[in-house]
Structure 1
């Protein structure tokens, strides 16, 4: 508790610099990363992250010192050049974008490693710590670095706020944006520039190797929690800010632990949790939803089977044993027994000494499912020219998801039919 309080009080200036810098870098990268992900250019960020290394090395070779502003400028130039080269390769040749990204990433990163090796053997005393740009060293942030990177981070956030609507439009519908007169090329150019800037300011914290994770991971995680871009941007920025502060805290309490990799690790943990636990889109939620749908389909199939058994005689409330139900339709026995109990609790079936029978409410529900099945069979036969002996399986799948609106539309389209392709009566809708 004392350690946490000391951390929160920020008495150490270095702790303050590291924490604020990590939060700003993480949040600004996440905001820009949202648009990168939506535009399906996630790998471009990775290529740019590796392409900034030669810019760092060239800036040092030209100045002989590790001036953060000069290195920022050198990183930006080579990162931007990498984007231009990728665009030229894809537009002027038959090489696809993914191949162009791989080429640019490997070539630029190779040049950067070559220059870095030459610098390390040059004997220049100022080169100490330059290799930190490979893996990042947030703990090395000082006041001057914080002002420089903080200004760039605020510029990124301000640009997104001011041009939010325009960026949103070109991310989802470029053709419409072009139709209403927006300067799409300039906006894309600006968004690419912001992406390069986000990568450039982030390498000080996590390095070129992990920078793409700072750009992409929070956006990918936030995408699981919402369908709205505004909320996605806020969630991604909040996740990154929290992980940035947490990474600085881990580094403060355990000096041997690097800040940047811990930020990425925490972001990755949040992404995994989002993938598993997010409502509606998470793996667990989808599994539960699919299980509910499968159970509902099984219950409707049981009701439909009981309806079919009573259809020849018109005695829909007659009782039928499990053996008779299984003889009519192959169903998993244990699950059928469970769902019969559920249908009984819902008031759709009743059990007596002879077996199971439909209640009036159950007959109405079964009749609805049978009606949808036969309407869809007729639609497939008449409008899609599917042979009548091939429509049953398709109708089996669709009957469970047809809404009342679609049912009404089918009736109108088919001119209120009374029989399906097999000349079987289509049950009429009951009120």
Structure 2
């Protein structure tokens, strides 16, 4: 465990943890507002800000670069809001337009810088994919400050943000400044993007904003729980990616953080209680078994009613022919429930089945519900 005492690894792990916390908390609001593409737009829109910050500062000054990224990210968000509110464009179209325009501008500025001959430009393109190993302790103070400010704003305006995320129309009827709150949330997500630029880069930052929130959404039915879980999942993903990167030679930290967060999403989608795909598959299988049992039970009931004999012994082969498939397993399950029983019917030696009193009651209940649905 000596590698945990390494100065660089400590910086990377703490930076990844801060990134995970702020991304998880703010990403939850983006997911609930159905603006999953917002993180992608803001992260790509940060590139021209990175370039402008470098041009103004004349060197790779982290404060100038992050300030530029925040300004252009916020500008892209405002550009998207103006487009969607003053035209027929939907939110996804507005986000896509803002992403394309600002990222194209960023590529142009990056090309201009690379051709300018400025010796300080070296490594500037690392903001595309991140360079976690270059994080300094002073950068952590900046990231920590941004994270604290963002979380403090979420706490102060918790009720307002919650209402705007779930029912903006009702929030507007209460007199809340919905547009201002939406702008504030968007700018805060831009803050999260700024925090993660050096860690995971422009290209991958979108996944960090969305993945922890998506994973947490599978486990939580309340916003409070979702936000806390998203922060924990984001923090755990960041630290896990940083540790794996430290253990493996030549493994990039940013992509590993994203892979860890993506793994959390996949696991959550598969096994989350009540929402997981495995649980859904089990429910569907159980419903199919229940439906097959109800169909076979009502078949036996109708045969008994047709012969005017509640103890009519229905031959298993007859039931199979009626349903077109083998019904042995279904009949055994009904027998285990005490709804039918097997009898002998001389001179035939093949299995015959008779409804029990509980089976008659259940069949009548099923047929009554079907009658109500048809009526």
TM category (shorter chain) comes to over 0.9
Alignment check: 8 A CA contact 1:139 1:258 kept = no
Q: Hey, what's the Cα distance between the residues in 2 that align with 1:286 and 1:270?
A: 18
- Tell me if 1:35 matches 2:39: no
> Pairwise mapping of residues 15-164 of structure 1 onto structure 2 (< 5 A)?
15-164=9-158
Structure 2 equivalent of residue 392 of structure 1 = none
1:344 to 321, 329, 335: 335
TM-score normalised per structure 2: 0.94
Q: Please report how far the alpha carbon of residue 93 of structure 1 lies from its aligned counterpart in structure 2 after TM superposition.
A: 2.8
2:348 corresponding residue in structure 1: none
Indicate the larger mover: 232-241 or 202-211.
232-241
Question: TM-score, normalised on structure 1?
Answer: 0.82
Cα deviation for residue 206 of structure 1 reads: 0.5
Question: Does the Cα contact within 8 Å between 1:52 and 1:79 map onto a contact in 2?
Answer: yes
- SS in structure 2 of the partner of residue 357 of structure 1: strand
Tell me, yes or no, if structure 1 residue 6 matches structure 2 residue 2. Answer: yes
1:16 Cα shift? Answer: 1.5
What does residue 410 of structure 1 align with? Answer: none
Instruction: Provide the rounded CA distance (Å) in 1 between the counterparts of 2:318 and 2:200.
Output: 67
Residues 278-329 of structure 1 deviation map (CA, whole Å, 9 limit, x = unaligned): 22211111111100010011111111111111123442222101233245x4
Supply the distance in 2 between the matched residues of 1:67 and 1:26 (Cα, whole angstroms): 24
Identify the residue that residue 412 of structure 1 maps to in structure 2. none
Match of 1:385 in 2: none
Q: CA–CA distance in 2 between the matches of 1:246 and 1:145? A: 20
Deviation at 1:238, TM superposition (A): 1.1
The residue aligned with 1:387 is: none
Q: 2: distance between equivalents of 1:351 and 1:117? A: 82
> Which residue is 1:177 aligned to?
171
Counterpart-to-counterpart distance in 1, 2:200 and 2:132: 7
Moved more, 339-348 or 271-280: 271-280
Q: Which moved more, 1:64-73 or 1:50-59?
A: 64-73
CA contact (8 A) 2:313 2:354 kept: yes
CA deviations 1:5-63 (Å, max 9, x no partner) are 224xx422222111111100122111100110110011122111101100110111011
**C-alpha distance in structure 1 between counterparts of 2:196 and 2:254, whole Å:** 9
Indicate yes or no: 2:299 matched with 1:305: yes
1:330 aligns with 2:323: yes
* Alpha carbons of structure 1 residues 93 and 169: separation in structure 2 relative to 1, 3 Å: closer
Taking the aligned partners of 1:301 and 1:59, their CA distance within structure 2 comes to 71
SS in structure 1 at match of 2:238: helix
Q: Deviations over 1:351-407 (max 9, x none)?
A: 0123001101111111100111122222xxxxxxxxxxxxxxxxxxxxxxxxxxxxx
Q: Tell me how far apart the structure 2 counterparts of residues 184 and 94 of structure 1 sit (CA, whole Å).
A: 20
CA RMSD of aligned residues (A): 1.5
SS at match of 1:135: coil
Q: Show the counterpart of 2:354.
A: 357
Contact preservation (8 Å) 1:68, 1:148: no
**What is the CA distance between 1:255 and its match in structure 2?**
4.0
SS in 1 for 2:354: strand
- The alpha-carbon distance between structure 1 residues 274 and 331, as it changes in their structure 2 partners (threshold 3 A), is farther
Structure 2, unaligned stretches of length 5 or more?
346-351
Q: Which residue, 223, 242, 245 being the options, matches 1:229?
A: 223
Contact 2:219 2:268 in 1 (8 A): yes
Give the superposition deviation at 1:331: 4.7
What is the number of residues matched between the two proteins?
369
List aligned pairs for 1:209-224, cutoff 5 A. 209-224=203-218
Structure 1 gap segments, 5+ residues each: 379-431
